[in-house]
Amino acid sequence: MGDSVQAEVMMNFLVSEDLSFRIPVELRYESVDPYAVRLTFHLPGDAPVTWAFGRELLIDGVGRPCGVGDVRIEPTDPDLLDEALIKLQVGPEQALFRVGIPPLLAFLDRTDRLVPLGQERALADFDAHLDETLDRILAEEQNAG
């Protein structure tokens, strides 16, 4: 079941109003985690940083402002829908990226062909994973005691 979709897009890392630079960002979607997308940012001089968040947030964010908390996505111009801003925040620190919407839509279209939106539950067997995890924890506790 290890099916996945990957794409690399160039994003502008907006350091300030006057300073930005383009960086490659890997987008990844895996059917084993059907609700999430992962963005891996390759910042110059730093180890790659990966953020995971809901696929629906990315879908919704290309058309209207979305997100609460550490990930927010919105189109730069709701009438044009040509670029989006992705804001990532950890505590007081934040990073802002600008990306073209067409490559995001192409990526999302490929994820939808792999796992149609609304069909994630069929792949995410949470009950089975929960049962397996609980069984393993109980077995470890019995072996330790």
pLDDT in tens, the chain (145 residues): 459 999 999 999 999 999 999 999 999 999 999 999 999 998 888 899 999 999 999 999 999 999 988 999 999 998 888 999 999 998 899 999 999 999 999 999 999 999 998 888 776 655 555 566 667 777 777 776 6
Which CATH number covers residue 18?
A: 2.30.31.20
Q: Do 42 and 48 form a contact (C-beta atoms < 8 A)?
A: yes
The domain tally of the chain equals 1
Tokens of 135: 């069984």
How far apart (Å, rounded) are the C-alpha atoms in residues 126 and 112?
Answer: 21
Host domain of residue 53: 4-144
Query: What is residue 68's DSSP assignment?
Result: -
How far apart (Å, rounded) are the C-alpha atoms in residues 7 and 1?
Answer: 19
Q: Do 85 and 76 form a contact (C-beta atoms < 8 A)?
A: yes
Q: Do 56 and 49 form a contact (C-beta atoms < 8 A)?
A: no
Cβ of 89: how many Cβ atoms within 10 Å?
14
* pTM for this entry: 0.80
